[in-house]
Amino acid sequence: MDISLEHVSCDLCGADRYKVRYRKPDAWLWVNQFEYPVVECLECGLVYVNPRPTVASMHHFYARDYHDNRDTKECQARYAMQSGYLPSLSNEKILDIGCARGDFLMFLKKKYPGIQPSGVDFYSDRVNSSEITFVNKMLPDAAFPDMAFDLVTAWAVFEHLHKPGDYFREVNRILRPNGKFIFLVTNADSLYGTKAYIEDVPRHLYHFSKKSLGKYADKYRFKLTRCDYDDRIFDGRGKGLFYYGISALVGVTWGKRYLKKLNRLQGLAGTAGALLDRLFFSGHWEAKLKRSGIMVVEFVKA
């Protein structure tokens, strides 16, 4: 399997100085056992994977059916929550970045029949509705006209990008004045992002925070007008804090997990940690403290 890695500078400020927060392999598909460093820029605080797989290598880290099965009952409930973050709509032009098969746009079209929906997704070859204008490209290559949209959305997309700054710039270009960009990203300042190893490395290449997003907003001529810490759309709780913490105390490594070579003590430690996680994170106190691992953010074009 041909997987190439690249070292990169900070996407936000361009600096090359960073510290390693932690290391994590691809613990979903186990494409390989390399432990990718998750680093924090020492200049601006942006958190990202470095080194990381190149764009050409990234397809190895996605299952073939990754874009399928997005119209389930569970997904429809999620789309309803996402739509709650949008303003009331009538005939607006809307773009969904990373639209997959277009299911969220179809949900919106049913709710607001007058809207004009568009979707862009490089990794999906089609959408499931003729009412959606679809472009099968990366957003910067889609060549939308200036100020083409009233509203742009992106749900769990920007953490997957190799150059999020290019996307922020392009969203600003295609939004009309005072247009809104509403998006969901993970929170690097949460237990989810720092201690519980829930970030989907290496698919999640950038781990944002309210502070780093504010700097992106300033750099690309937006105003950050809303940042909600939401555990409803996706679970942003830090379940894993005790499981991984206690397991590490008895010598469990990523390699031992992959090979399933745990002794009795290590197995018991993991069970105890998982039980503590269920008890400690049974509620949603992190969201109330503005520390949930999931954020829904609103930028307004300045």
User: Domain limits of the chain?
Assistant: 73-188+220-235+285-301, 241-280
Can you give the pTM of this predicted structure? 0.95
| For residues 54-59, average pLDDT | 94
Residue type, 134: F
Parallel, antiparallel, or unpaired for β 222-229 and 5-6?
unpaired
CB atoms within 10 A of CB 225: 12
CB atoms within 10 A of CB 65: 7
* pLDDT for the residue 70: 56
* pLDDT for the residue 189: 97
Domain 73-188+220-235+285-301 indexed as CATH 3.40.50.150? yes
| For residues 123-136, average pLDDT | 93
Q: Range with the lowest mean pLDDT among 26-35, 60-69, 212-221, 237-246? A: 60-69
**In which residue are the tokens 């992002």 written?**
193
Q: What is the DSSP letter of 88?
A: P
Note whether 140 and 170 are within 8 A (CB).
yes
| For residues 194-220, average pLDDT | 98
* Residue 280 buriedness (CB in 10 A; 0-12 / 13-18 / 19+): middle
What are the residues whose beta carbons fall under 8 Å from the beta carbon of 169, sequence distance 6 or more? 140, 220
Q: From CA 290, how far away is CA 156, in angstroms rounded?
A: 18
